[in-house]
Amino acid sequence: MNYIVLDIEWNASKWDPHHLEEIIELSALKVSPATLEVVDVFSSLVKPAERLTSFTKKLTGITQQDVSSALAFPHVLKKFKVFLGTEESCFVAWGKEDFRFLDKECERYRLPSLNLSSYIDILPILQFGLYDTFNGNTPSLAKTMEVFQIEADGQAHNSFDDSMNTLKVFRYLHGKLDVHATYKSNKTPEERYLYEDTLKSSGKRQLMKCIFAYMKKHDVDDVAFDAFFTSSIWLDRAAALDLNEHVTAVFKTEFDAQKQKASEKYIAQKALVLVK
């Protein structure tokens, strides 16, 4: 078995809800579980179907010329599978977004998905395995390295450099606790999101972001109560937050106020897209 420390960059838009998000860079480190040393590396740019957004170019430093000469995703995936080999792999990543994008691109190109059943998401380890350090928050890679006094290499949002820095954090955590264990909050949903039976600001932010995600996905600036709370966007988020019936009921009392904020944000961002 090998660890595969993975990082992906994609062509993102800050404003356009219809923008096609595509992988534009894929890097991975094959790491020995015995020594935690790198035994092989993979890094490739990926040619997207759409042109790079200005947001992506500024964030990653990748240019249109860089990706125009790269291989398309199916060809990069084929090379990546050769890199993985036939040995069992345990993937390691900073959050689940990279796994989601790999699955999404495989589905879009009608390719067999990678077997990502064995993976380690570093964020829950930081949130709950080291709760006293980060108070249950999800720190950035840069912030984590700063707190642990780990020297960062390279450029942020370069997938190869980020995979190397993720490995440094993984090595640190590997020496502190069981990285294969499941880490969850030891606080109840009431303790995390309620204060005297009203929703804390953290809960309000979660709700507003979720409503905004619904609006962006469906390209609407309004949503009915029942439509939102029966949507997969809300149900998946509620499950991820481990909300119980009581806390969910309190979330629902904040729907109108947070919908208004989400709608104002969506309309403002939509106006910027039209101006462009």
Going from N- to C-terminal start, the domains of the chain cover 2-174, 189-275
Residues of the chain with pLDDT under 70: 17, 131, 136, 272-276
pLDDT for position 264: 93
pTM here?
0.77
**C-alpha span between 122 and 171 (Å, rounded):** 11
pLDDT for position 22: 95
Identify the CATH homologous superfamily for domain 2-174. Ribonuclease H-like superfamily/Ribonuclease H (3.30.420.10)
Residue that the structure tokens 């990069």 belong to: 76
**C-alpha span between 95 and 122 (Å, rounded):** 6
pLDDT for position 257: 97
